Amino acid sequence: MSKKTAVRTLAATAAGTALLAAGLAGCSTDSAGSSSSDTLTVGVNGGASMNAVKATFEKANPGVTIQVKDYSQNFREVIGTQLAGGNAPDVLAITGGGGNNISAKVAGDKGYYADLSGQSWAAMVPATPKEQLSNTKGQLVAVPMTLSSIGGIYNQGAIQAAGLSVPNTWSQVLQFCQEAKAKGKVAYGLGLSDTWTTQMIPYALTASLVYGPDPKFTSEQSKGTKSFSQSAWKTSLDMYMQMKGQGCFNSSPNGTPYSQVQDAIRKGKTLATVSVASETAAIELTGPADLDLTYAAFPATDDASQTYLSTSTVGFGMNAKTQKKALAEKFLSWLATPETQVAYAKAFGDTAAMPGDVKQERQVSTLVQEYVDKDRITVWPDRDWPTTTIQPEVFDGVQALFSGRAHVGDVLKKMDAAFTQS
């Protein structure tokens, strides 16, 4: 199945299925060992979307309570600790691929997630999400929920008031930065003290520079014929630094929390940021009533037709040690329905993985579908990396670049070493 066919099926098939704390919260007993037989715990990385839809399931199942456990500050650390301790939530958000400690292939291979391959909806999961949400044994460990992507999030009202427009080429990005600065605005907010944000711009750029033109790049790395250092990964990090030199960002990104960037966009002091599409909903949540955000692919070249959108399949799986197996399976089957998918994605601010015939109305969904139709999508690079040690090198490396402690070549060498050691 081609990439376009697989993702088109994911985003549009009529028969389908139904997602990123406190220090030692991982030791909580209110999870797999919860004593109430009619309470199902669900671990999430941001609870607004699950809270928005859970009432429908509770209403259809009188006496059942869905208890949402939101660990949005340090989801991976908390869930990783809980999985190892055997007391993770009954159902939990799972990232695809193998890029981190709780991903489908890493935690899945350790037996932390239940095998869902035999569920009634599993046979209808298209190839792309099935591969991303399966462990290396081929066992499906999550029901696909959203097709997430990385792009530019723009305060359209503030941009129009400044007399600017959303860029769709790399030269226009640099021009946008210069014109925004002249207007006393920050073009792209950057909150690098939250380390997960460090990867957003490199992932967006490498979609068009590396993984779109060369879909087999990672497999060729595994054979030793390609490397980060000798590829357009260097170009992407050089461009990141070019944006810094052009004044695209706020001052002191390393010392800026991402929440501050969100607030600045809401107020129109910052015009945009590059982030996951779901941040459109997160920023809108506490913004003014007239806040108008738009979402666009982030360009890396001066040919707009060559811009790719970096995407990832995310879903919900079942803790292998849950004592609520029957209820958890029923809940996951409900998540698989198109109505639930679209309602969840709308609240999440993203694109439903399996919407069926249910219409999606968010601008984000329309944009993503356009890139699916044009066959201009890639998978987030870390989803296919063979070890969890590469992504931290991106996090640390970008912060080091912004503090002047490293050069682009230094960062890429460390990334190559981590890849090779795997």
Decide if pLDDT at 26 tops 70. no
- 391 has pLDDT over 70: yes
- Per-residue DSSP letters for 51-93? HHHHHHHHHHSTT-EEEEEE-TTSHHHHHHHHHHHT---SEEE
Q: Residue 84 pLDDT more than 50?
A: yes
Residues pairing with 143 in the sheet: 316
pLDDT number for residue 249: 98
In degrees and rounded to multiples of 5, residue 66 shows phi and psi of -100, 110
The two most distant CA atoms of the chain are separated, in Å, by 61
Residue 36's pLDDT is what? Answer: 54
Stated pTM of the model: 0.81
Q: How far is CA 99 from CA 83, 107, 116, 389, 394, in A?
A: 17, 10, 21, 8, 12
The most confident of the ranges 6-15, 130-139, 354-363 is: 130-139
pLDDT above 70 coverage of the chain, percent? 91
pLDDT-based confidence at residue 361 (cuts at 50, 70, 90): confident
Question: How far is Cα 229 from Cα 391, in angstroms, rounded to an integer?
Answer: 15
Q: Which residue has the higher pLDDT, 114 or 9?
A: 114
Q: Is the pLDDT of residue 6 over 90?
A: no
CB 347 within 8 Å of CB 49: yes
Lowest mean per-residue pLDDT among 72-76, 242-246, 313-317:
72-76
pLDDT at 89: 98
User: Given a cut of 80, is residue 86 above it in pLDDT?
Assistant: yes
